[in-house]
């Protein structure tokens, strides 16, 4: 029963460690708030900036696997190139060393031991969470609670292992793993792949090391294996993605395998000449040092060869059918949404904003196509407009489902407001498309009946359609940039369209009175004016949401 109790304590401790890390990561993400969404912009700068962003994001979400999975999602969604992905992947490996340093804090001094301050952190965090009203304070409370639970979990794991520190089986196991680099690397790889977390596997190794059960040689080779094992999550995540996304996951694997081989051979040679160091005991701080040195030096070593890693991934993941992933027509493209981005709601929200903007651009293309059908009487343009409408309907459905998933994540109050506004924005854009579809249907009926507008009517139609296009363009830019100048532009155009619609209706009645226009053509003209005015109304709704966000 005593052994079973120790096993339960170890499993419980591991669970608290993982849960605490997750709670702390959620608190950090919400505390970072809108700053997280701007990180994507830095990725377009250069590879060095990508490394810094990758390290920063991983430090916040406490998982290099999650960061790499998001990278696969970004690449799959077309939000990031492979060259940009290389830098982020390198940075993620550096950022994950933060967890190892947190675990090793218990050896920095008595005050930093988990059993000393962890309960205090949980207590302070709990009181703040219960009684604080400000969102920022609640975010900090989550960080404190997660931090405390993480260390309580480590304490449980350490206590469950202490009775076995003198067990011969552990000494023999780590002796074998330390003397055989391949076995050591395989052990670290398998454990990390099974529990799907390099942070957790490194934490377990450090807990064993803190109890004096791990030698330097075994720690080095197991740590190298853990860095390879963390690639399994991204590789599994890349299943079902396009070839470019698969290559991003392969780059992650190549980066860690090459590093493990180079450093594995180097450390084996060093240990062969210095057996005393090889068999000496390592503590958790020593593992943190090696983990950090390895990832930093590996990044420095492979940084100049980023383009070669991209080419090598292209060789391993061959493009057998280069045309199969190319869209036939812009009107067929659906949103590039990826569930992998949901690992970080802030990034998922930024991706959703970009796809909402792309939906707006598709709505603009729909307007242009429908208006051209009226001007030219071209049935092909009518058919294309109908096709775009089908795409927009599916677009709205997929966006709504994705936004619903984002809303379940850890978001700030402002981010939740943006999610709600995106729901309404997507609906308004689909309604703009509906009115374009109505105009295309009217154009088709005019073609079938051999009707066309008079020169004066067509001139008025051209003027109001130009304003409607400008209104939607400004609304899309307002959503993309959040600049109030575009909001004011849409409001101004809305007033102009209202006035112009009234003037055009009056002019049409005058033409009817002078027998310059038939009543039949007039019905089509007035219906189109009504649809154009409603398009402007929906553009006005979209900038209204942006204005509300700016007031928060």
Q: For tokens 């450090």, what's the residue?
A: 206
| pLDDT(33) > 60 | no
Burial 454-464 (b: 16+ CB within 10 A, else e): eeebeebbeeb
* Neighbouring C-beta atoms of residue 547, cutoff 10 Å: 16
Helix axes 181-195, 168-179, angle to 10 degrees: 110
Rounded to the nearest 5°, which phi and psi values hold at 215? -90, 165
| pLDDT(36) > 60 | no
Separation of alpha carbons 445 and 3, rounded Å = 82
Q: Which residues contact 132 (CB under 8 A, 6 or more apart)?
A: 138, 141
For the stretch 185-219, pLDDT in tens is: 888 888 888 777 777 778 788 888 887 788 898 88
Residue 215 pairs in a beta bridge with 281
Average pLDDT over residues 139-155: 81
Nearest to 478 by CA among 552, 547, 395: 547
| pLDDT(321) > 80 | no
Q: Residue 215: helix, strand or coil by DSSP?
A: strand
pLDDT at 12: 85
Residue 281 pairs in a beta bridge with 215
pLDDT at 327: 40
Helix axes 47-61, 64-76, angle to 10 degrees: 130
* pLDDT bracket for residue 106 (50, 70, 90): low
Q: Of how many residues is the chain composed? A: 552
Helix axes 484-513, 455-481, angle to 10 degrees: 170
Q: Residue 475: helix, strand or coil by DSSP?
A: helix
Q: For tokens 């390198």, what's the residue?
A: 90
> What integer best gives the mean pLDDT of the chain?
83
Separation of alpha carbons 29 and 443, rounded Å = 51
| pLDDT(424) > 80 | yes
Contact 396, 355 (CB under 8 A): no
Q: Which two tokens stand for residue 51?
A: 């490394």
Separation of alpha carbons 212 and 171, rounded Å = 10
Question: pTM for the full model?
Answer: 0.69
For the stretch 160-194, pLDDT in tens is: 766 655 556 655 666 677 678 888 888 888 888 87
| pLDDT(43) > 60 | no
Separation of alpha carbons 224 and 221, rounded Å = 5
Higher-confidence residue: 38 or 361? 361
Nearest to 51 by CA among 78, 85, 98: 85
Q: For 84-98, 140-154, 212-226, 367-381, which range has the lowest pLDDT when averaged over its residues?
A: 140-154
Out of 108-122, 235-249, 359-373, the most confident range is 359-373
Q: Which residues contact 475 (CB under 8 A, 6 or more apart)?
A: 360, 486, 490, 539, 540, 542, 543
* Neighbouring C-beta atoms of residue 175, cutoff 10 Å: 14
Separation of alpha carbons 412 and 346, rounded Å = 9
In the chain, ranges of CATH 1.20.58.220 domains: 344-551
Nearest to 521 by CA among 426, 435, 453: 453
The DSSP result for 316-362, as a single string, is HS--S-TTTTS-S-GGGPPP---GGGGGSHHHHHHHHHHHHHHHHHH
Q: Please, what is the Cα angle at 49 between 47 and 54, to 5 degrees? A: 90
Average pLDDT over residues 380-407: 93
The CATH-assigned architecture of domain 344-551 is: Up-down Bundle (1.20)
Q: Which residues contact 110 (CB under 8 A, 6 or more apart)?
A: 116
| pLDDT(277) > 80 | yes
Q: Residue 543: helix, strand or coil by DSSP?
A: helix
Higher-confidence residue: 132 or 529? 529
| pLDDT(494) > 80 | yes
Contact 317, 330 (CB under 8 A): no
Average pLDDT over residues 229-249: 80
Separation of alpha carbons 61 and 206, rounded Å = 21
The DSSP result for 80-147, as a single string, is S-HHHHHHHHHHHHHHTHHHHHHHGGGGS-GGGSHHHHHHHHHHHHHHHHHH--SHHHHHHHHHHHHH
Q: Residue 533: helix, strand or coil by DSSP?
A: helix
Separation of alpha carbons 191 and 143, rounded Å = 28
């Amino acid at each position: 029963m005593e052994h079973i109790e120790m096993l339960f304590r170890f499993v419980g401790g591991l669970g608290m460690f993982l849960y605490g890390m997750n709670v702390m990561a959620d608190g950090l993400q919400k505390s970072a708030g809108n700053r997280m969404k701007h990180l994507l912009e830095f990725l377009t700068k250069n590879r060095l900036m990508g490394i810094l962003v990758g390290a920063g994001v991983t430090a916040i979400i406490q998982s290099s696997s999650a960061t790499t999975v998001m990278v696969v999602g970004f690449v799959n969604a077309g939000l990031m190139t492979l060259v940009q992905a290389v830098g982020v992947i390198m940075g993620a490996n550096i950022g994950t060393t933060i967890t190892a340093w947190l675990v090793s804090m218990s050896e920095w001094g008595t005050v930093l031991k988990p059993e000393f301050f962890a309960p205090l952190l949980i207590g302070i965090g709990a009181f703040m969470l219960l009684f604080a009203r400000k969102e920022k304070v609640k975010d900090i409370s989550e960080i404190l609670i997660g931090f405390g639970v993480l260390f309580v979990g480590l304490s449980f794991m350490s206590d469950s292992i202490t009775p076995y520190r003198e067990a011969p089986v552990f000494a023999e196991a780590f002796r074998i793993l330390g003397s055989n680099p391949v076995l050591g690397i395989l052990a670290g790889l398998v454990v990390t792949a099974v529990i799907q977390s390099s942070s957790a596997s490194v934490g377990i190794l450090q807990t064993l090391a803190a109890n004096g059960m791990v030698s330097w040689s075994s720690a080095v080779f197991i740590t190298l294996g853990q860095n390879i094992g963390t690639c399994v999550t991204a590789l599994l995540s890349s299943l079902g993605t396009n070839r470019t996304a698969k290559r991003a996951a392969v780059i992650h694997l190549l980066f860690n395998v090459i590093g493990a081989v180079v450093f594995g051979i180097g450390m084996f040679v060093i240990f062969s000449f210095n057996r005393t160091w090889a068999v000496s005991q390592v503590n958790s701080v020593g593992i943190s040092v090696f983990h950090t040195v390895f990832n930093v030096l590996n990044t420095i070593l492979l940084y100049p060869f980023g383009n070669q890693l991209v080419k090598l991934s292209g060789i391993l993941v061959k493009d057998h059918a280069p045309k199969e992933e190319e869209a036939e027509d812009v009107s067929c493209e659906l949103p590039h949404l990826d569930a992998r981005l949901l690992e970080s709601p802030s990034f998922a929200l930024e991706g959703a904003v970009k796809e909402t903007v792309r939906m707006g651009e598709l709505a603009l293309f729909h307007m242009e196509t429908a208006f051209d059908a009226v001007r030219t009487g071209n049935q092909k343009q009518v058919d294309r407009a109908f096709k775009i409408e089908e795409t927009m309907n599916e677009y709205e459905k997929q966006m709504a489902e994705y936004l619903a998933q984002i809303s379940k994540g850890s978001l700030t109050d402002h981010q939740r407001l943006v999610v709600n506004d995106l729901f309404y924005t997507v609906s308004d854009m689909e309604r703009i498309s509906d009115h374009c579809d109505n105009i295309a249907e009217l154009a088709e009926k005019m073609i079938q009946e051999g009707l066309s507008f008079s020169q004066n009517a067509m001139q008025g139609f051209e003027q109001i359609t130009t304003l409607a296009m400008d209104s939607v363009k400004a609304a899309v830019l307002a959503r993309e940039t959040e600049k109030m100048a575009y909001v004011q532009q849409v409001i101004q155009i809305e007033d102009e369209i209202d006035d112009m619609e009234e003037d055009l209706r009056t002019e049409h009645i005058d033409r009817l009175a002078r027998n310059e226009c038939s009543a039949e053509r007039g019905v089509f003209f007035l219906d189109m004016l009504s649809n154009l005015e409603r398009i402007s109304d929906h553009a006005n709704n979209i900038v209204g949401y942006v204005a509300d966000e700016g007031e928060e």
